[in-house]
Amino acid sequence: MSESPLILADRGAVRVVTVNRPDKLNALNAATLDALHAAFDAAAQDPAIRVVVLTGAGPKAFVAGADIAEMSALSAVEGRDFSLRGQRMMRRVEKMPKPVIAMVNGFALGGGLELAMCCHLRIAADHVKVGQPEINLGLIPGFGGSQRLLRLAGRAATLELCLTGAPIDAARALQLGIVNRVVPAADLEAETMKLAGQLANAAPLALRGMIDCVNVGAECGIEEGLEYESAQFGLIFSSQDMREGTTAFLEKRKPEFKGI
């Protein structure tokens, strides 16, 4: 039996998902895409898990891209299917009802940057480089890079990264809004787990509502987005967590959220 392309480890309510192909710089082949999809399905359905952290194995790469060796033999139809396979997986991550943090510990190029961008938050080590270098292979991004990068960094930066294929450093990625935080490499795991712990202690239904509102708002007009926000805001008033949160505030104590 071949080695699993993923390592799964739970730290309390935080599940750490590690892409485990360090000899291939954690490149995304079809088997890895399918394993990731299944892993996020499982995390979404597990009531004990409140946050997911995604990272890559080894010292060099978060995910260095899609698996070029596998892609090079694909026909046009197979190439489209491979793109759709990756997009479905990344859409699954983006629509997770629980926060997903990308712990970007090394190169995040091509499919790797696309994978990081579908996560809700991204923390990068200060030595990291990110980019969409598909142009150098005679390709374009296929896992959503042209769309998510556009929404995060804007038209000019997206065209620059995609047309030139040149990587940028973590500091510029932060400036462009591609990552949320940049920290020293030695502090990356501690800072990521600190944030994950903070989110794991927050109200799960409120976290889900905020993720849903932002996802809907990113894809619709403001009136529709406002209407959706109001509906979610009202719905959460039926939760025990909302009563616990407001009562704890008035009683000047720390709330204990249960996700109900």
**Which residues are the active-site residues?**
114, 134
**Of 105, 83, 66, 86, which Cα lies nearest the Cα of 192?**
105
H-type helices in 2-122, by residue range? 30-45, 68-71, 76-94, 111-118
Q: Give, in degrees to the nearest 5, the angle at Cα 33 between 31 and 38.
A: 95
- The closest of 184, 187, 181 to 127, measured between CA atoms, is 184
Contact between 230 and 217 under an 8 Å Cβ cutoff? The reply is no
Torsion, Cα 170 174 178 183, to 10 degrees, reads 60
What count of residues does the chain have? 260
Of 189, 151, 152, 183, nearest to 18 (Cα)?
Answer: 189
Lookup: tokens for 250:
């008035």
∠ Cα 131 134 140 (to 5°)? 115
Residue 23: CB atoms within 10 Å: 9
- Tokens matching residue 120: 């809700």
